Every structure is written in structure tokens, then in C-alpha cells.
Amino acid sequence: MGLGPEAAEERERPFLERLDEPVRARLLEMGTPQTYESRQALMRAGEPGDFVMLLRHGYVKVTSADRMGATVILDVGVPGDLHGEIAVIAGGIRMADVVAIEEVHVRRIAASEFNRFLLDHPSAMREVLVSVARRFVLAQRQRTQSWKPQAVARVATRLDYLVGVCGIRTPAGWRIGIPLSQDELAQFIPMGRTMVAQALDKLRKAGVVASSRRAITVVDREALRMITEKGVT
């Protein structure tokens, strides 16, 4: 997938899926399995990075606090994603919290073991680099989009991204697979909750999305993508 400016705001397939079979099998033998309950932190900002986590089942959110102390969701993580690589590679502290959205199963791999694995498998090293580069590109895009004046266009952009990450095809359209609350959706855009509710209402009335308390379905993705560019009134 290209990373050009006109590319949709999508990310690569999860890290694990991008590895060749023998390398993937080797990685899956490493570390120890662990389970986290919904809302439990897998790792916390500021802690030393002495392990990485390979997500095997369930969704997580990567969160940080803005200058006023409000929580911002930087991204969501899906099965196959790798977390904690930044502090492990840079040898520093965690840059964000990673929190379970539902019950999650991971493999926790010690930093020393993971670093050895990367040296032994240059193709995996490259894929870690791809993940980090991709996050960098998305963060830059998000930052430049935060001044998009149209609230509806900003909400539409994030919904389109979520469809790319965890969309489930249903007869009614693309259901967003991650059970995000309205507060979490607001933290992900990021935008005030009331503005998000108003934007969702406009999208609903335009026949682009259908939503209930924790489930959003993108009924018309083409129209959603048009709105990410032009907005609606």
C-alpha cells in the first residue's frame, strides 16, 4: 500500500500477518501468554520498556493525556499488532498507555528475547520499521487534520479509518468491530462529546451511518469518503 498524500487513512495489515510463515511460527513460540480484563492496562506511559506484547485476541486502545490532562486515544490495536516496541528499541520509557477495551490475550516477550529475534530475522526487523513508520505517517496526518473546520468531516475520517482497521461486512454495511463508547469515540477523534453526537446525527440523517449505543455501522462507505473530503452541511 502506498503512503502518498492522497492515500486513504488506512494502515498496514497487523505485524504478525505480515511475517512469513516460519518467522511467524517462531515468534508465536516466544514469551508467555497473558490475559487482561477490559479496562486493565497492558503497559503504562513512563514505565521502562522491558517487554513487548503481541496481541492475539481482543482490542486495545493506545492512550495519552493532552496538555489539559484529558485522555486522547492515539490508535486502536487489533489481534496481530505488536505493542511496546518503541521503548524496547529506543531503550527508553513507554510513550503511551495501552489499555484493554475488552478481554484480551497477548504474548508477553522480554525485550532481550525480542531484540535477539529481530537480529536473527531481518525481515521481522523490517516489518517493525514499517509499523513505526506507518504510525509516524498517521500521527502526522492526524495532526494536520485536527484543524479541519468541518466537525462532520473529522468524524467521517476517523470512522473510515476504523472501518479499515476493524470493519465487519454485514448486510447493513460495515459494522465497526471495536465496541467503542461515545466517550471513547470522542477521545479518538478527538473532539467534545456533544459535537461528536451532533456530527453522528448529521451522518445518520444523511443515510451514511446507523448507530446505537456502542455499535456504529457505516451504511454507505463511498458517501463517507466523499464527506471526509468535502464535509456535509
Ligand X SMILES: Nc1ncnc2c1ncn2[C@@H]1O[C@@H]2COP(=O)(O)O[C@H]2[C@H]1O
Interface residue list for ligand X (CB under 6 A) = 43, 49, 62, 74-75, 83-87, 94-96, 98, 135, 139
Q: Could you tell me the smallest distance in angstroms from the CB atom of residue 122 to ligand X?
A: 20
Task: Return the exposure string of 173-186: e unless at least 16 CB atoms fall within 10 Å of the residue's CB, then b.
Answer: bbbbbbebebebbb
Distance of closest approach, residue 158 Cβ to ligand X, in angstroms: 13
Taking a C-beta distance cutoff of 8 angstroms, is the pair 215, 170 a contact?
Answer: no
C-alpha distance from residue 50 to each of 119, 133, 150 (Å): 17, 22, 42
Closer to ligand X by CB, 180 or 227: give it: 180
Q: Which triple of cell numbers denotes residue 69?
A: 490532562
In whole angstroms, give the CA distance from residue 90 to residue 103: 29
Minimum Å distance from CB 65 to ligand X?
13
Which C-beta is closer to ligand X: that of 55 or that of 209?
55
CB of 84 to ligand X, least distance (A): 4
Nearer to ligand X, 62 or 106 (CB): 62
Least separation, in Å, of the C-beta of 96 and ligand X?
4
Q: State which residue, 95 or 232, has the beta carbon closest to ligand X.
A: 95
Report which residue's Cβ sits closest to ligand X. Answer: 87
Residue closer to ligand X by CB (options 108, 204) is: 108
CB nearer ligand X, residue 47 or residue 103: 47
Q: Which residue has the cell 456530527?
A: 199
Other CB atoms within 10 Å distance of the CB of residue 58: 19
Amino acid, res. 125: M
Q: What is the C-alpha to C-alpha distance for residues 15 and 117, in angstroms, rounded to an integer?
A: 14
3-state helix, strand, coil in the chain (%, to 5): 40, 25, 35
Residue 5: strand, helix, or coil? coil
- What whole-number distance in Å separates Cα of residue 63 and Cα of residue 192? 16
Q: Cell triple for residue 30?
A: 516466544
Q: Which is nearer to ligand X, 52 or 200 (CB)?
A: 52
**Minimum CB–partner distance for residue 232 and ligand X (Å):** 28
Shortest reach from residue 136's CB to ligand X, in Å: 8
CB 174 within 8 A of CB 163: yes
